[in-house]
Amino acid sequence: VFVTGGVASSLGKGIIAASLAKLLQARGLSVTIQKFDPYLNIDPGTLNPYEHGECYVTEDGAETDLDLGHYERFLGLYMSKENNVTTGKVYNTVITKEREGAYLGKTVQIVPHITDEIKRRMMLTGKTGKYDIIITEVGGTVGDMESQPFLEAIRQLQWELPEEDLMCIHLTLVPYLAAAKELKTKPTQHSVQTLQQSGVHPDVIVCRTEKELTPDLRRKMALFCNVKPGHVIQSIDAWSIYEVPFNMMEEGLDAMVCEHLGLETKEPDLSGLKSFLKKLKNPTKEVNIALVGKYVELQDAYKSIQESFIHASAATGCKVNVISVHSEHLEEGNAEAKLGNMDGILVAPGFGERGLEGKIVAVRYARTKNIPFFGICLGLQMAVVEIARDVLGWKDAASTEVNPITTHPVIDLMEEQKSSRIKGGTMRLGAYDCRLKAGSLAHKIYGKELISERHRHRYEFNYYCQADMERAGLFVTGKNPQTGLAEIMEMPSHPFFIGVQFHPEYKSTPEHPQPIFVAFVDAAIKYKENHA
């Protein structure tokens, strides 16, 4: 099942793909999703979040598009490096094969060589036989030059495969013009015409809209876009992305797919998701939590963290107001104004020097005011720097990422990273084990001794200062059993002060919220109650 988009980006192809997959999974089918992105980067690992939003990391260490996070959260399944393909990966494979002599005597061209490689990757996941249905989302919009090889590959597959084995769903925008007080269908018509000019014919059109589509508008679009009556459906704005599967079920999208593909299934059971939404909509408490980072004005930059708070909200029965605090604008003089009414402070991950001093200010405020603190990756590292400077008096304490000549390199480049000259895909990536210290806060939170979490970093806590850090009250309570790498650090004298080198947000789902986020929200609730 292919999901394409037109008119505008950010319409929610990933959410539609994930919602359809959830419905088909709830019918008892085995489903996976893959994302094909048209940009030339090998992966989004070196892209600025302003360019592409969050870089999501899978269990096997692939740096991928943030939509794979939605796929995992909706399906409760782990994605892998095979689930995200870029034009860069495709061209890299074809050019490498050309250099090795695979095409001797042939002129290497977009058609057939690039399109053959795209088709091979589109069909690769299905060769395992593990899945009844594979949903393939194509990034960008149909009018983009970069998307043409992907559309050509779909056209060829529509020609090569039996009609009942392949289906195309096209997502478009039906804008509401306030001045005219009406919805306009022309952008959808043009979008579908552009898709059809590429030789791809949609079986279902999903219309992203703010207002209800009338039966007349649906019939009009079905007629002009050459799809079956009833196969024009709406995706209306929802209160939560987790309501979209229910909206799509009401529109009959999953039933259309099953009918087209000739699949006999049971009715979908979404009781788990329904229970989650009921809790989410009926909180009995409310807290404010500061998200301190340098990309906070961009909602997709910390997408997994935002979603983890939503999952923790339902688990605790508490509405979590995530307040964005730009670390570049945070300093000692305005810390009280920006953080004074917070019930918890999370210092976000990131790279580079910009905004670091503001993160250190946030750590100091949380530590000295006994506000619940949670640091992720760089957030943990800045907690180490802050305590080294303020408690131990090492005024030039820093990470060697930003100060290579500091006399107190409390955060340093990982040993295996020192010889690496290539930036893309060379960090410590993917899932690694962590052994928790008995009786620690982390051990109480997880309720077990050995855990596994995902990583994305180059720098780590420098063990030369461990004894000094313990003297200052900060202890290593989680270590990688193979390397001894510090994974978790805590301050037992503080009501709730924990930093982690990994990214716990990547594994949180609505039905299995991440334990540290739940414990952090609980700590924020207690803090608010104690300061009421």
Length of the chain: 532
Catalytic residue among 55, 207, 377, 465, which?
377
The rounded distance, in Å, linking the Cα atoms of 143 and 134 is 24
The rounded distance, in Å, linking the Cα atoms of 336 and 2 is 51
Task: Look up 505 and say whether it is catalytic.
Answer: yes
The rounded distance, in Å, linking the Cα atoms of 95 and 93 is 6
Residue 47 and residue 88 in contact, taking contact as beta carbons nearer than 8 Å = no
Q: Of 208, 254, 260, 204, which is closest to residue 229 (Cα–Cα)?
A: 204
The rounded distance, in Å, linking the Cα atoms of 152 and 118 is 10
Query: Beta strand pairing status for 31-37 and 84-86?
Result: parallel
DSSP characters for 312-359?
Answer: HHHHHTEEEEEEEEEGGG--GGGHHHHHTT-SEEEEPP--SSTTHHHH
What is the enclosing helix (H) or strand (E) of 204?
strand 204-209
Phi, psi (deg, nearest 5) at residue 409 = -80, 75
The rounded distance, in Å, linking the Cα atoms of 171 and 156 is 21
The rounded distance, in Å, linking the Cα atoms of 7 and 175 is 10
Instruction: Quote the distance between the C-alpha of residue 469 and its chain's center.
Output: 33
Q: Of 71, 18, 32, which is closest to residue 253 (Cα–Cα)?
A: 18
The rounded distance, in Å, linking the Cα atoms of 409 and 302 is 28
Active site residues: 377, 503, 505
